[in-house]
Structure formats: C-alpha cells, structure tokens
Amino acid sequence: MALPRRPTAAVPHGRLARLARFGGMAGGIAGGMIAEGARQWATGQKPTVAGLLLTPANALRVTQQLANLRGAAMKMGQLLSMDSGDFLPPELAEIMGALRADATPMPPAQLQAVLAKSWGKDWRRQFERFDVRPIAAASIGQVHRARTRDGRDLAIKVQYPGVRDSIDSDVDNVATLIRMSGLVPATLDVAPMLAEAKRQLHEEADYAREGECLAEFGRLLADAPDYRVPRFHADLSGRDVLAMDFVAGVAIETLVDAPQAERDRVMTLMIALCLREMFEFRLMQTDPNFANYRHDPATGRLVLLDFGATRAFSAAMIGDYAALLRAGMDGDAAGARDAMLAIGLFDTAVPAKHQAAIATMFDTAFAPLRADGLFDFTDNRIAASVRDEGIGIAADRDFWHIPPIDALFLQRKFAGLFLLGSRLGAKVDMAALLAPYRPA
C-alpha cells in the first residue's frame, strides 16, 4: 500500500544548500526568541535563554526543517524526540514526535536520477511494475514496491541523494542546536558521542552493509518460525539501493486493539529476540523505532525490516551485562555496582552519593523482574520512580557522565522495548525470559 498522495520535496544535497536551511532555521529561532523575550518582559517575567529556545513555535520550526532536510539531520531529531520525553514539556515532545512519522517523499525526477545511477538509464526494463509512489518514506531513504520480470515481489529502499556526504555537517549542526538549548552542560565532553553518531549514521547510509546484515539475520533466525526476515536480493542492491522480499504486515503499534493474549505474545517475541541478539548472537539491531517491526496477521509472525543500525558487541561487554543480570535477579547490590563499574555506566570518580543513587535506580527497575508471574508494562509506578531517580541524578550537572557508546546503544534498545510494551499494554513473564541468560 502506497503512502497517501501528498506534495513531494527535493532533498537538499549540496553542503551549501543544507547549511542554508540550517541558517534559515537558526534565523527563525532567533526571531522567535526576540519576540517571545519581549512578550515575557512586557508581562513582568524574566526570560532565560533555554526558556526562549524551548517554545512550541521554535520546536515546530526545528521539526519542519529537519523533516525537509531528511538524512542525518532528521535522524538526529528522531533520536531526540524518542529520548527527550523526560526533559521536554509535553507539548514540545509531541511536536518533536512528528519526526517519527513518514518523511516527505522526494519527487519522481530525483528518484529517477538515483535509480539510473545505481541500475543504469534503462533500469525499467528489469521490472514488470515499479510503483513510483513510495510505500514508506523515512529519514535516510524511501521504500517502493516493485515486481521484476522474473516474478519477484520486492520492497526496494532508495536512499536520498547526498545523505552520506552531509552526515558529518548535519550532526555538527544539530549538536550546535542542542548546545544552544542549554540542556547539556558546557563542561560535558560530547565529542566522542558525536564522533560515534557520525560513524553509526555512515553505516546506516551504506545499504551494501545493511544488505549483509539482513542476510546474516536471515541465517541467524532460520530456526525461529515466529520471525520473518525478508530475503535479500543482492543483484539489485548496492550502496544506495537495497532490494528485499516484500512482506505484508501491519504496523506493530496497531496491535493496541488486538486481544490481550496476542499483545502479550508479540511483546514476548520482541524481548526474546533482544535477549538472543545480546547473549547468543552478540549482534543487535539497535534502532528501537517501532517502524522497524511489522506484524503479519495471517501468520502471527513478527516481521523484521531494518538492519541499518546493526551493531556487534564484544564478548567482554556482554559478559559484564550477564553479571549485571545475575546481580539484579539476586538483589545483589555490591555485585550490581561492580558490574556497572565494569560496563562503564559510572566510574570511581563519581561521588558515593551518586553511585548509591544509581544503584537504587537499578534495583527499582529490577525488583519487578525478580517477581514470579507477569510483568505489567502498564504499571507506570516503576517507570515514574526510575525517571524521578534519574532526573534527580541528572540535576547535579557537575557530575554528568557519558557511558561507553556500546552501553548507550544497548540502553536505547532497552528503553525502546519498554516504550513499546507500555504502548501495547503487554504483560510478560520476564523472569522466565531472563532465566536462561542468568549465569550460574
């Protein structure tokens, strides 16, 4: 099913063209700050820079421009919209959440140019049908359905032009906007995180690499009939185009209206897959975006679509997480502290009061997982307690600590699973799922 008809927009793909968009966005934000500051002064309020930046009008400006830029700029905005819910007011989080919806498709002429570059000017001769209207449009590329002359029913991802060339500058420009917001302490060294963001986005923009990961997960899950990984078609794939089987399915979040038993089963499959990725494969698709998963109502299978953010983990790190799992299941505070130190979630330079607070937050999160029976993802008391404890730690900005990048990717995946479980209102026997991976 194609996206509803709506206007297309060419992707700005020159460095200067994209910089101009950022410049226009910054100018609009500055103008909005002046107007809002004047309004606050007139009403007797004392405005702050952060308060003037974080307004609904400015959030809307940022969202619209990032959506039009697509590429790394939109991808960074999506990550912020998923991870900043505890820091942004609800109305701002809702506006930023629009970035998780479909992007604006590129116009047919731009699509034609990308495909001609990848397949040659006579590329249409290979197809019995190629739907110009995409069935999905995301931050890095859009997806088209096609049928080849030899009868293959395909979903073909086509990358927006210039995405790879703009990654580094886009990340730097978005980072500048984040620094301007005042949400991140000026003393915090975010350079390693930005470097890793660029590396990860370059990998996601390499469709040849994603094709290899798609094929690898097809092999790894060949013994798991509850999952469906589309077959990779190497003859029509490259750095800018990725061809795979078209697999029917519905958005996983539409299961909110499904019977409780089906929601519980699907969420159990999601968590079981994450545990296998982590402890058996040591290879994980780390992007928690709901759009990466579909549900096939005809078979009940979980369909896995996107492997651009696939990441390998060292045996040492997974061993440390296994030790943390054992400590959490045993209620062993000292063991949990040692495991968290080994992982790098904090270090010995962190004051004792913060170490104790982190340990308390961890125990709060693990307590319900130790209990027999079903874990109810709709019980918001646990999430609220962990959130409040985390905000209390984060409020002491002099002691902010960035964990190792691998740990951040794992934590992001865990958080995404929790969000999905909450959205579905699922109930899962977590103790039973975790038990096989708890070391003796």
Q: Look at residue 265 and tell me whether its pLDDT is greater than 80.
A: yes
**Rounded CA gap, 72 and 46, in Å?**
36
**Structure tokens that stand for 250 in this block:** 């519905």
Distance separating alpha carbons of residues 119 and 162, to the nearest angstrom: 17
| CA–CA gap between residue 340 and residue 291 (Å, rounded) | 31
The terminus-to-terminus CA distance of the chain in angstroms comes to 49
User: Is 287 assigned a catalytic role?
Assistant: yes
- pTM attached to this predicted model: 0.76
Determine phi and psi for 168, rounding to 5 degrees: -60, -45
Average pLDDT, integer, range 276-286: 96
CA distance 304 to 229: 5
- Return the minimum-mean-pLDDT range out of 63-72, 224-233, 260-269, 305-314: 63-72
Q: Are strands 302-304 and 227-228 parallel, antiparallel or unpaired?
A: parallel
Contacts with 100 (C-beta within 8 Å, 6 or more apart), sequence order:
78, 81, 82, 289, 290, 291
**Could you tell me which residue, 81 or 400, shows the higher pLDDT?**
400
- Read off the pLDDT of residues 128-166 as tens digits, 9 standing for 90 and up: 999 999 998 877 889 999 999 999 999 999 998 888 887
- Out of 170, 206, 264, 287, which one is annotated catalytic? 287
Q: Choose between 221 and 98: higher pLDDT.
A: 221
Q: Is 74 exposed, middle or buried (0-12, 13-18, 19+ CB in 10 A)?
A: buried
> In this predicted model, what pLDDT tens digit does every residue of 70-120 receive, in sequence order?
444 445 444 544 444 444 445 444 444 444 545 678 889 989 999 999 999
In the prediction, which pLDDT does 190 show? 65
Considering only CA atoms, which of 85, 87, 97 is closest in space to residue 60?
Answer: 97
Indicate the domain borders of the chain: 15-101+166-188, 107-159+206-247, 249-440
Which CATH number is 107-159+206-247's, of 3.40.190.10, 3.40.50.10090, 3.30.70.20, 3.30.200.20? 3.30.200.20
